């Protein structure tokens, strides 16, 4: 490679060949973070010999899940998606049934039901909470009752740590006898009107995936106040074995148990949940303060009935007022080695659900088009300032 010889014998690189400044360390969207007790619980589990998806550790984890969620019955399973799959089985979803959820969510909310042959119906969210709009739900339930085709289940999603407006949803679904299953995968630790998220629904599903607020390194839970529902889910999660020495099967199930190894990690983490919620809320508060007066920039609102976890801090850009699209901002952050991500692409726009539509006023699409999720995990104040400064520079503020 050509170096330039300059007067005085000093060899210099021309600017274009100068070694680049070392990149700033990457700031991730929502990285898993250890709380410190994991090694101790893991080593206790390994030395005990109970490492399968059975025994005292998953039981202890389930007890901690009951305490945390306020539900009286819990099954710890292999993933949040597995929990939702089991819920759909327990609810008796069959080919041709309808299952309703909000369009603005992650695909796993509905994927297991679709794989079982159900037809999804996508409803819009309310701009006040970004969660299922009870008014849209009421209109849809009225029409469905008239058609004589009520859904097998309604699935509100507690999006980005924001609880859905559950009371009106429960009373509407109660009026038409439709069970409510909360996809609370993103919202462990959130509260709705002072009670833990999902409480009051027939069932709720949680996730302990690596990017969630606490993690088992992978895992999930299905919870309910109805012991029969969880007993049935547990039966299906362990290959639907009937009580016979030769493994009798009245139906087929799954291998969805949570290994004791992973449950140990979850057990060590779950005690730190209140601290984690406080930390995520603090990250959000610092963004809100650091970006306060930028025109055209706003955040997911928190209605008075919500105590969100702010699992992710999500902003909205009004391109007319700030002159920048979320994609421009995403690239500017990426150039500074900062991970950000668009808001969930509404499911009715996904090729997998070709031909589907979203019932409502179209808020889901607008939130997708204008939204960006910011790094929201454990970060130093200096790291968060780097994110804030990059956003301010990009928006010319």
Residues labelled as active-site residues:
212
Q: Is 165 in the site for ligand PLP (CB under 6 A)?
A: no
207 is a site residue for ligand PLP (CB under 6 A): yes
* Listed ranges 103-111, 117-125, 260-268, 332-340: which one lies at the site for ligand PLP (CB under 6 A): 103-111
The rounded distance, in Å, linking the Cα atoms of 296 and 323 is 8
Smallest separation, CB 373 to ligand PLP (Å) = 11
User: Which of residues 71 and 311 has its CB atom nearest to ligand PLP in the complex?
Assistant: 311
Kindly state the number of chain residues that form the binding site for ligand PLP, as judged by CB under 6 A: 14
Q: Which residue in the set 220, 253, 346, 377 belongs to the binding site for ligand PLP (CB under 6 A)?
A: 220
133 vs 186, beta carbon nearer ligand PLP: 186
Tokens of 83: 């929990």
Say how far apart CA 178 and CA 166 lie, in whole Å: 14
Residues 41-70 that bind ligand PLP (CB under 6 A): none
Report the distance separating Cα 256 and Cα 100, nearest Å.
24
Q: In terms of Cα–Cα distance, which of 172, 193, 181 is closest to 105?
A: 181
- 63 contacts: CB under 8 Å, gap ≥ 6: none
Residue 337 makes CB contacts below 8 A (sequence gap 6+) with 23, 24, 25, 26, 27
Nearer to ligand PLP, 205 or 283 (CB): 205
Cα-Cα-Cα-Cα dihedral sign, residues 156, 162, 163, 164: negative
> Can you tell me which of 32, 53, 58, 80 binds ligand PLP, judged by CB under 6 A?
80
Nearer to ligand PLP, 199 or 386 (CB): 199
Q: Which residues contact 254 (CB under 8 A, 6 or more apart)?
A: 82, 85, 86, 236, 237, 239
We find the least distance from the C-beta atom of residue 20 to ligand PLP, in angstroms, to be: 36
Query: Which of 93, 108, 172, 279: binder of ligand PLP (CB under 6 A)?
Result: 108
Residue with tokens 């309604």: 154
Is residue 162 classed as helix, strand or coil in its secondary structure?
A: coil
Which member of 50, 106, 192, 287 binds ligand PLP (CB under 6 A)?
106
- Which residue of this chain has its Cβ atom nearest to ligand PLP in the complex? 80
Which residues of the shown chain bind ligand PLP in the complex (CB under 6 A)? Answer: 79-81, 105-106, 108-109, 157, 183, 185-186, 207, 209, 220
């Amino acid at each position: 490679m050509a170096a330039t010889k300059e007067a005085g014998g000093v060899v210099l690189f021309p600017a274009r060949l100068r070694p680049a400044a070392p990149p700033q360390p990457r700031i991730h969207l929502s990285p898993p973070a250890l709380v410190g007790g994991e090694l101790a619980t893991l080593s206790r589990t390994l030395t005990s010999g109970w490492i399968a998806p059975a025994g005292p550790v998953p039981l202890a984890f389930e007890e901690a899940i009951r305490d945390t969620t306020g539900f009286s019955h819990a099954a710890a399973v292999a993933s949040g998606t597995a929990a939702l799959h089991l819920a759909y089985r327990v609810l008796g979803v069959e080919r041709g049934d309808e299952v309703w959820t909000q369009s603005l969510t992650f695909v796993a909310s509905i994927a297991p039901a679709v794989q079982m042959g159900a037809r999804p119906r996508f409803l819009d969210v309310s701009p006040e909470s970004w969660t299922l709009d009870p008014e849209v739900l009421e209109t849809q339930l009225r029409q469905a009752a008239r058609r004589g085709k009520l859904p097998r289940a309604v699935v509100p999603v507690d999006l980005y740590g924001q609880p859905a407006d559950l009371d009106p949803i429960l009373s509407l679904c109660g009026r038409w006898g439709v069970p409510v299953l909360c996809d609370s995968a993103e919202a462990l630790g959130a509260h709705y009107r002072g009670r833990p998220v999902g409480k009051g629904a027939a069932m709720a599903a949680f996730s302990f995936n690596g990017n969630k607020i606490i993690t088992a390194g992978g895992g999930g839970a299905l919870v309910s106040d109805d012991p029969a529902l969880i007993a049935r889910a547990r039966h299906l999660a362990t290959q639907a074995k009937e009580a016979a020495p030769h493994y009798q099967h009245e139906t087929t199930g799954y291998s969805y148990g949570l290994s004791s190894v992973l449950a140990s990690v979850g057990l060590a983490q779950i005690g730190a949940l209140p601290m984690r919620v406080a930390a995520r809320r603090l990250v959000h508060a610092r963004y809100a303060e650091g970006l306060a007066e930028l025109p055209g920039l706003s955040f997911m609102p928190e209605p008075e009935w919500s105590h969100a976890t702010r699992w992710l801090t999500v902003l909205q850009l009004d391109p007319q007022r700030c002159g920048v699209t979320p994609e421009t901002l995403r690239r500017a952050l990426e150039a500074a080695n900062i991970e950000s991500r668009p808001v969930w692409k509404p499911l009715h726009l996904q090729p997998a659900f070709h031909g589907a539509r979203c019932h409502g006023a179209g808020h889901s699409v607008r939130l997708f088009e204008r939204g960006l999720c910011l790094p929201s995990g454990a970060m130093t104040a200096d790291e968060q300032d780097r994110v804030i400064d990059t956003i301010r520079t990009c928006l010319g503020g």
